[in-house]
Amino acid sequence: MDKTKQKAYQEYVKQVTPAHSLPRQMGKAFLTGGTICVLGQGILNYAVLRGADQETAGSICSLTLVLIAVVLTGFNIYPSIVKWGGAGALVPITGFANSVAAPAIEYKKEGQVFGIGCKIFSIAGPVILYGIFTSWLLGLIYWCFTQLK
């Protein structure tokens, strides 16, 4: 590739590549994740106020946040939240619920078994796999250290 074509290509890439402000993205992620956490804390406090013990209130909070995320994914609202809030919307439990619900909704036209059944864990499956493998590996390491004592 000659210098003129290479320079033209680099100029084109610079034009079409969106400019991002890292502090602005971090602020949006913080605001989005913080809002989700405040909502979760509100649900937790409400459950405790209604008489649930701490463990039950935590379960109610988790289930409610998952339900909200799945409903928002179903109405195609959660992807907009993710686009705006970035990792702030992807990291909490709501992001995991979205990653399970989105492929299921997308492939529902393929049918119950070959659509939803096959594709529901296409994104979340690797997370589950590596989570289980990592916990198994750390458990093995812990067990080895306890046997040395």
Does residue 38 lie within any of the structural domains? yes
pTM above 0.85, yes or no: no
Q: Which of 19-23, 68-72, 90-94, 123-127 tops mean pLDDT?
A: 68-72
Does residue 66 lie within any of the structural domains? yes
Does residue 113 lie within any of the structural domains? yes
Task: Provide the number of structural domains found in the chain.
Answer: 1
How far is it, in rounded angstroms, from Cα 47 to Cα 60?
7
Residue 117 backbone class (left: φ over 0; alpha: ψ -120 to 50; beta: rest): alpha
Does residue 102 lie within any of the structural domains? yes
Does residue 146 lie within any of the structural domains? no
Largest Cα separation within the chain, whole Å, is 74
Does residue 129 lie within any of the structural domains? no
Give Cβ neighbours of residue 31 (< 8 Å, ≥ 6 apart). 85, 88
Q: Enter the tokens of residue 109.
A: 């036209």
Instruction: Residue 115: give the domain boundaries.
Output: 31-122
Instruction: Provide the mean pLDDT of the chain.
Output: 85
Does residue 26 lie within any of the structural domains? no
Q: Please determine, for residue 11, whether its predicted confidence score (pLDDT) is greater than 80.
A: yes
pLDDT over 90 percentage in the chain: 46
Does residue 131 lie within any of the structural domains? no
- How much is the average pLDDT of 97-118? 68
